Structure 1
Amino acid sequence: MGITYTRQGDYNLPDLTLPEQPNVELGVYAQMRRRFLRDHHRILYYNLLTHCALTQHLYDIEQAAMDMEERLIRRMADRQGVTEALKALNQMMWVQKMNNICNAAREIVLHEIIYAV
């Protein structure tokens, strides 16, 4: 299989195309990971990009981050006694504790998955 060329003015340019990549919707964690790699680990970012593995990597990171966040939230809520009974008894206290738990879980996910190399 040879390379074909197209004449553009005075130059012959190769007809190169990237392989088809899956069309996946990337969430907030994938976007954070892309930005982190692009800004702080350019070699890894461009290696993934040129090997057409960036989209799959970002998708995997998104899935791992979401799974870890869900597990952490459930585990932390159980340990701190944040239950449906508390929600029925004192909604504001439940909201405060759940917001605190969600923020703590997000920080752990960012540190362990998104900003790790």
Structure 2
Amino acid sequence: MEITYTQKGDYLYPDLYLPPQPTEDIGRFGRMRKRFLKEHQKDTFALLLMENRLQEHLIEINRQALEMIDTISEQTAKATGVTEELKASDQLEWIRRMNELRAAAEQQVIREIVLI
């Protein structure tokens, strides 16, 4: 790898460029993961940052978390009888139970994906 230089005054400065970063939002779970890495796994955070892979990692964590929440919510809803029939007969009860299922799924995902 050959490095080129630019002269400014009496000094030569290397022409260093970072590859383009993904512009996708890291999302809620990506932000949680970033904070966890910064506070509790400083070595991993520094390594990902130096290798220019932090943004990719955070986007992937967010994507995995969202997929897992959807999957867990659907499976738990089926298992506990939260169906379209309940939605048609008692919407408020259906919403309450779905919110509970989603909150439980989010807590599980945070423990299993974000905080590892």
> By the TM > 0.5 criterion, same fold?
yes
Which letter does structure 1 place at the counterpart of 2:16? L
Q: Is the 8 A contact 1:27 1:62 kept in 2?
A: yes
Which letter does structure 1 place at the counterpart of 2:103? N
Q: What's the % identity of the aligned pairs? A: 36
For residue 2 of structure 1, what is the aligned residue in structure 2?
3
Supply the distance in 1 between the matched residues of 2:89 and 2:21 (Cα, whole angstroms): 50
- In the alignment, structure 1 segments of 5+ residues that lack a partner are none
TM-score (norm 2): 0.87
Supply the distance in 2 between the matched residues of 1:86 and 1:60 (Cα, whole angstroms): 35
Alignment of 1:1-117 (within 5 A): 1-4=2-5, 7=8, 14-116=14-116
Supply the distance in 1 between the matched residues of 2:52 and 2:4 (Cα, whole angstroms): 19
**What is the CA-CA distance between 1:13 and the residue it aligns to?**
5.0
RMSD (CA atoms) = 1.9
**What is the CA-CA distance between 1:15 and the residue it aligns to?**
3.8
Q: Is the 8 A contact 1:5 1:14 kept in 2?
A: yes
**What is the CA-CA distance between 1:11 and the residue it aligns to?**
7.0
Supply the distance in 1 between the matched residues of 2:95 and 2:27 (Cα, whole angstroms): 24
Aligned residue-pair number? 115
Q: Deviations over 1:16-56 (max 9, x none)?
A: 32222222222111111111111111111111011011111
